[in-house]
Structure 1
Amino acid sequence: MSEQGRPIIIRRKKVVHGHHGGSWKIALADFMTALMALFLVMWILSSASQEQRQGVAEYFNTPLLTAIAGGEQQANSQNVIPGGGPDPTFTEGQRQRIDRRIETRPSEMPQRLRELRRSVENAIQADPVLRKLRNQLRFDMTREGLRIQLVDTDKRPMFELGSDRVASYMRRLLRTLAPLLNEVPNPVSISGHTDSVPYVGGLQGYSNWELSTDRANASRRELVAGGLERDKLLRVAGMGDQVPMPDSAPGDAINRRIALVVLYRQVAESIRSQGGRGESIGVPSARRAPDAPLPTEEFVEGVRQTLSG
């Protein structure tokens, strides 16, 4: 066949465009959902109170594995079945240690105290007289426990000026709090506070120390009259003007207040242990042997003269 009669064949490379599918749409949707959730959480946190944010922080401070397993010892155990003691009652071994830790777990106590706060707020909201005092109440969680502060204002003082005589609405408030405090097993501490305006007699006469103590005791009497159990009271103290409210001038009316603290159990035990017999720190205790002779009167007199000389 001649060159002129040969058919001309044209080969064209076929370009096939791959199909991307809708995977990018799913990724974009996930990203937008996460971004929306982020802004939603930021908006909720900005409008939440300090106590609500603290509760969220406590929730995330507890590891998920520990919360599900019921304790650190059990979560870290290598055994499939949690080990217990040699007897069926689990009085020894790992199981008993976990149970004791849960019973004294501090995370349970703030929840109970937060429920107490809600009960107090609901009781005040339900009473038309106490509802007017809502702005004079301060709630906060401290290292000692739930603190409820009843503060003064120039228009509505809790006590008569310079006196421990309780106002009628203050009496109503304290007697409303008494049965609510009985609902929790925690003991209560009461402290009185004053402003920095001194008495005429100064520290030598009747001063802010006596006034704050008398007001704390007057509050105690009203709580008892409202039905507070006798064993609930652990400490009644007067602080004078030594603990002013943050960001306040020493003479502000807000410093005239009564602070009720529903104590943590560990704090209450620490206060009760102050009456026990302690040891001097860094100094070895001088203990006489059972058969050692008692010091003579001459020896005691010589030591006394040496110390006084």
Structure 2
Amino acid sequence: MADDDKKPIIKKVKKVEGGGAHGGAWKVAYADFVTAMMAFFMLLWLLNVAPPETLAGLADYFSPTSAAVIGNTGSDSINPPSEDAEGMNPSPLVIISDPGKPQTGPSEGKEKGGKGDSKLDELAERIKDQEDLAFEDLQEQLRLAIQQSPQLSEMSDQVIMEITDEGMKIQLVDKDRRAMFKSGTDDLYGYAKAMIAAVGDSVATLPNRLTIEGHTDGGAFSGPNGSTNWELSADRANAARRVLDETGVTNDRIAEVIGKASTDPIFPDNPFKSENRRITILVLREAPVVPPSAGN
């Protein structure tokens, strides 16, 4: 009996081992793979249905190179003198802010021409921003030159400066009691010649080409040999060109010398107003050089 009480106790443990194909780990991996493939094909579908403008915006967003766009920081716009302003103190200098197009995002205004066109548009925009800054500096130089000269300061209300899509427009206008040219001729008064020379000194520092326009008022004119306002306006524009040439603006920078007679008045409702008689000097914007492969 005592031997029976000392029998060893044997504990049997059943060891269960997972066998490769019978486990569940592969299901988790497969589910991850299917999810990734679904996301990938959804991305391809979204890229296929997205418009080119959106794709261009995404490309610009992830582009490693970026440039800060500097807009025109001009002050409030000042309009040219009007008839209602007569009798009031004239503005010492009229500067019209750039009325250009509103600021656009990197993907707006781009044609559906692919990446090449978007790069050209970006280059053109950068050049325009740089030219705007140069034009603003030119405005400041002229403003200071006029203020510091007693002779030019008397003509400060006859200078209108404006930055446009074509470039920087500088208009030197007549006043009722202060004309720039002797009546019916292309002979400049001394103060008018000094003003054009001041403009020449300022624009001589820029590489841009110039267009010079002569304008008359709507009054009929009949000069020697049957000349009209057309010949008179052209002669006056050429007289301004000669003054610019004396200040260092070389002939290769002159794009055009044009006589417009009375076809482009500042005040269309009053074609006989003295301010319609003027010289316009347009500092042209320079178009960016397009590489030969850009059009392919």
Give the TM-score category using the shorter length: 0.5 to 0.7
Aligned: 1:109 with 2:137: no
2:248 to 216, 220, 227: 227
In structure 1, the gaps of 5 or more residues are 1-46, 67-71, 74-93, 270-309
Task: Please state whether the residue corresponding to 1:266 is helix, strand or coil.
Answer: coil
Measured against aligned partners, the alpha-carbon deviations of 1:40-87 in whole angstroms (never above 9, x if no partner) come to xxxxxxx833578648x87x7144xx5xxxxx69xxxxxxxxxxxxxx
- Whole-Å Cα distance in 1 between the matches of residues 159 and 259 of structure 2? 19
User: Structure 1 CA distance, aligned partners of 2:165 and 2:232?
Assistant: 26
Q: TM-score, normalised by structure 1?
A: 0.55
**How far did residue 252 of structure 1 move?**
1.3
Deviation at residue 250 of structure 1 after TM alignment: 1.1
Question: Could you say if the C-alpha distance between residues 169 and 187 of structure 1 is closer, same or farther in structure 2, counting changes exceeding 3 Å?
Answer: same
Among all aligned residue pairs of Structure 1 and Structure 2, give the percentage whose two residues are the same amino acid: 31
1:175·1:227 contact (CA, 8 Å) conserved in 2? Answer: no
**Secondary structure of 1:196's match?**
coil
Q: Return the alpha-carbon distance in structure 1 between the equivalents of residues 136 and 238 of structure 2.
A: 26
Match of 1:190 among 202, 206, 212: 212
After TM superposition, give the deviation of residue 154 of structure 1 in Å. Answer: 2.0
Say which structure, 1 or 2, has more relative contact order (CA 8 Å, 6+ apart): 2
Select the residue among 199, 204, 215 that pairs with 2:221: 199
The residue matched to 1:197 in structure 2 has which SS? coil
Q: Deviations over 1:129-155 (max 9, x none)?
A: 101111001112233211100000121
CA distance in 2, matches of 1:147, 1:54: 11
Separation in structure 1 between the aligned mates of residue 119 and residue 245 of structure 2, nearest angstrom: 36
In the alignment, what sits opposite 2:280?
A: 259
Query: In 1, distance between residues paired with 2:234 and 2:97?
Result: 35
Distance (Å, rounded) in 1 between the aligned partners of 2:150 and 2:97: 30
> For 1:96-139, what per-residue CA distance to the aligned partner results, in whole angstroms no more than 9, with x for missing partners?
98876554322332222122111111111111110111100111
Q: Which has the larger radius of gyration?
A: 2
Relative to the length of structure 2, the TM-score reads 0.57
Indicate the SS of the match to 2:207.
Answer: coil
Q: Note closer, same or farther for the CA distance 1:129–1:62 as it changes in structure 2 (3 Å cut).
A: same
| Aligned twin of 2:92 | none
- Equivalent residue of 2:176, what SS? coil
Whether the 8 Å CA contact 1:182–1:232 is kept in 2: the answer is no
Checking the alignment, whether the CA contact within 8 Å between 2:215 and 2:278 is kept in structure 1 is: yes
SS of the equivalent of 1:150 reads strand
Q: Partners in 1 of 2:175 and 2:146 — Cα distance?
A: 18
Q: Counterpart amino acid of 1:241? A: S
Secondary structure, aligned partner of 1:170: helix
Residue 61 of structure 1 pairs with residue 61 of structure 2 = no
- Contact kept in structure 1, 2:173 and 2:279, CA below 8 Å: yes
Q: Is it true that 1:49 corresponds to 2:77 in the alignment?
A: yes
- CA gap of 1:248–1:158, structure 2 versus 1, over 3 A, is farther
Partner of 1:151: 173
Render the CA deviation track for 1:3-39: whole Å, top value 9, x for unaligned. Answer: xxxxxxxxxxxxxxxxxxxxxxxxxxxxxxxxxxxxx
> What is the CA-CA distance between 1:254 and the residue it aligns to?
0.8
Give the count of matched residue pairs: 192
Alignment correspondent of 1:250? 271
Tell me by how many angstroms 1:165 deviates.
0.3
